[in-house]
Amino acid sequence: MPAEPPGPLPTGARRLMPGLPARPLRRWFRRLAPAFVLSLSVSATAAEPSLTPWADASPEFAEALRHARANRTDAAVAAIERLRSATGVADVPPPAALDYVLGRILEESGRSEAALARFEAAAASPLGDSARFRAGRLLLARGDVAAARAAFGGISPGSDSFVEGRLLLADVLVREARFEAARVVADDLLQDDLPPAARLGARLARVAALAAAGDRERARVEAFLAWLHAPDASGTARAARVLASLDAAPGPAHAWLRDVLQARGQSLQRLAKQARRSPSRLAKIDPGLPALIEGVAARSKRPSRDRAVTLLEQAVARAVNPEVRDYAVFSLGRALVVVDREDEASTAFLSLWDVPVRGPFAAEAGFEAARSATRLKQGERAIALLEQVATEHPEGAFAARIRWELVLAELVAGNDAGALARIDGALARLDRGGGLVFGSVERLRYFRGVVLARLGHDDAAGRDLRRVARGDPWSYYGVMAASRLGNGTSGGVVVDADATGGGLSPEAIGPVWLWRLGYREEARAQLAARARLGVLDAPAVGILGRMTVQRRHSLTQRDLLRGPVDAADAARFQELHPRPFLEEVDKAARATGVDPALIYAVMRVESGFAPRARSSAGAIGLMQVLRATARRVATVSLGDRKLANALGRPAANVLIGSALLRELDGLFRGHLPLMLAGYHAGSGAARRFHRHFGHLPTDVFVEMLPYAQTTRYIRRVLGLAAGYRALYDDADRGPLRLPDSLPETLGPFLQRPIVVPGA
C-alpha cells in the first residue's frame, strides 16, 4: 500500500533513489534525478499538472488508505469500490489507478489471486509497466512460468522496473531450460551502463545460464569477475555463494585482490601502509601481493608513478596466484600509460588478451589495449579490438563505453562519415525520443551535431546542437554546443519552437499517477528512466524537478539545474551556486586576474568548500594545492615564499591556487580545458597531452585524454564555471565559451611574478 500520503511539496532540491528489489535503477536515479529541475522560464509555457496527492484531494481515497494501513483490507477495498462507482466526485484517481492501488493493497494482505486480477486490469493503462512487473512476480510465485515470462517481457525500457523484470525473465528462462535465451537477456542488459547492483545481477544471470548449459569453466571466470566488482557486502556474499556452488570459492589472495581493486584514495593508501608494515605476512599469501598493493597505491600519486612501474614489474615477476599475476600485469599497463610509455602499456594489456584461455581481466585489458591503440593513432587496430571485446566478452559490461570509444576512434582518424554511423547506431538504443538529453546521450548528440556540420548538413547539425544547448546551457556539452552555435552574448538556453508544447506528455502520465497515489519513489524512478531515454520534454522534466525538491540545501545540488535563469527563480539558482569565502576569492581574483567563476568552480570540485580538506596525494585546502607546488608559486609568481607556510589558511590557499591558474593560463594561452588538465594532472602531463593530441579539436582532445578522471574533472569544472559566470558576472565577461582548437605553441610558466593588466 502507499506510504503515508505526502504533504505539500518542499522547496529545495535533493537526490533521491528507489530501493531494490526495485534497486537496479538506484544508481541511475542518483545520476539522473539531480539533473532534472527545469527553470520555470522553460516549463511554464505548458499547463503544469497537479502533484497534489489524491489522499489530500479526496477524503474518500484518504479513508481507503487509512483502512489499508490499519490492515482493514475489506474496508479498504469497499471504500475504493464506492469511490469507483461514485459520480460527481472531483479529483479522484482514474479507474485504472484505483485498480493498481487495490492490487497493491491486496498483494500486501496476501490475497495474490485478487491482486493479480487488479494488476491485469491496470496493465493497459499508463501504469502498465508497474502493473505488469507486479503481476509477473505473482505469477512466478504461483508457478505459472510462461505467464510470468510474458508479463516481464512486456515491460518497456522506460520503466524503473525494466532491469529487475529482465533479471527475473532470465531466471524464468533458465527454469524452462532455455539457457541460450536467458544468456541473451543478460547480455542485452549488459549493453547498457548499468548501476553496480544491476550489473552484478546481470553478470550472475549470465553465469547461471552458462552453468546450467554446462559451461562451468567459463561460468567460474565470470562469477569471479562478478565477485571482484560486487558493490556491497550482500552482493559480495551472493557472488561468493555462486562461486562456491561452482567449486571455486575465493581464497585469501583473492580477498586481498578484491580489496585493492575496490580501494580508492585514503583507503588505498591504508592498504599500502599495511603492505609496507607486514610484507612477509602478505608474501606468505602470495609473493606478489606486497609489491602489487604498493604499486597500485603509488600509481595514484603523481610524484611516485615511476616507482609504481618498478613495483608492479616486481609484482608480475613474483606473483604465484594466476589472478594476482593477471591483475599485476593489468595494473602495470595502467601505470605505463600514466608515465607516457604507451607502446609498453599496449603490450602489457595485449598479453592478457592474446591468450588461449582468457581470465577475469581479459575484457578490461582488451578495452584498454584498444584505447592505447587509439592514442597511438592505430585506428583500425583499435576498432577491431573494441568490436572483438564487445562480441566475445559481454560480461565485461563495456558495451556502452565501447560504443563511445568506437565513435572516438573514428573522430580521431578524421572519418566523419564513420563517426556519424557509429553515433547513430548508439543513439538507436539510447535515445528513444526528441526530449531533453542527459549523460551519454547528451555527449553523442553534441558530437552528432559537430560531425553533421563538418559533413555540410547544417540544418540537422543545428537541431542536434540546439537540443543539447537547450537542455543545460551550463553543462560542459551545453557550453560546447552554444560555442559552436555562436550564441552571441546571451547566457540563456536555446529553445526550439516546439520544445515547450502544451499539455502533459503521455510518458509523464503514469509517473504523475504514481506520485498522486502516494508511491513517490516509484514515480521519481519512472520519470528518471524515461528521461534517460530522451523521451521527456521540458514540462515533463520540470515535473521530475518538482518531485525532487527539498528544504535543505546541499552543495551537491548544482546538477539539479536545467534551463536558463529568470527573475522568478534566480534566488534558487544562486542558492545552489554558493559563494563561501567571498572576500578571499575577490582578493585572489583582483591579485591574479583570474575569473572568480573559475576559482569557485575549481574550489568546489577540488574540496567541496572544505578548508581543511586533504587528499591522499597530499593536496591541501580549498584549492587542493601540493606543498611543493605552493612553494614554487608563492616564490616565483607572488614573490612571497612565506605564503606557502600558510597554505592551510583559506586566504593563502585561494591566492596560491588562483596564482597557479593564472600561470597555467599563460602557459596554455588561455585555453581553459588545457589549463584545467594542468591543474588536475600537472603541468608536465598537460604539456604532454598538448604534444600528443594538440592537433585535435578541443572537444575531441578532452575525450582523448589518457586519464579518465581528468576528462571528468574538466567537464565538471567548466560546467560549474559556466553557471557561476552566468549568475555572478560582475565584470561583464559574457557567457563562458570555449575555442574549437588548441593553441599551436605554449607560453612561459613560473618564470616571473604575476602582473595583472590595469591593476
The set of catalytic residues is: 606
SS3 136: helix
Contact of 329 with 352, CB cutoff 8 Å = yes
Using CA atoms of 321, 322, 326, 332 in order, give the dihedral in degrees to the nearest 10.
40
DSSP 25-54: THHHHHHHGGG-EEPHHHHTTSPPPP---H
Report the C-alpha gap between 459 and 420 in whole angstroms. Answer: 15
> Strand 561-562 relative to strand 37-38: parallel, antiparallel, unpaired?
parallel
Specify whether the CB–CB gap between 474 and 465 falls below 8 A. no
- Residue 578 C-alpha cell reads as 554558493
d(CA 609, CA 581): 9
Q: Residue 380: how many CB atoms within 10 A of its CB?
A: 10
d(CA 616, CA 153): 47
How many C-beta atoms lie closer than 10 Å to residue 597's C-beta? 26
DSSP 8-state code for residue 561: E
What b/e readout covers 550-568, taking b as 16+ CB neighbours within 10 angstroms? eeeeeeebbbbbbbbbeee
Task: Please give the angle made by the CA atoms of 400, 402 and 406, to the nearest 5 degrees.
Answer: 125
Are the C-beta atoms of 650 and 621 separated by less than 8 Å? yes
Helix pair angle (289-299, 265-277), 10° resolution? 140
DSSP secondary structure letters along 691-723: HHHTTSBHHHHHHH-S-HHHHHHHHHHHHHHHH
- Residue 697 phi/psi, 5° resolution? -60, 160
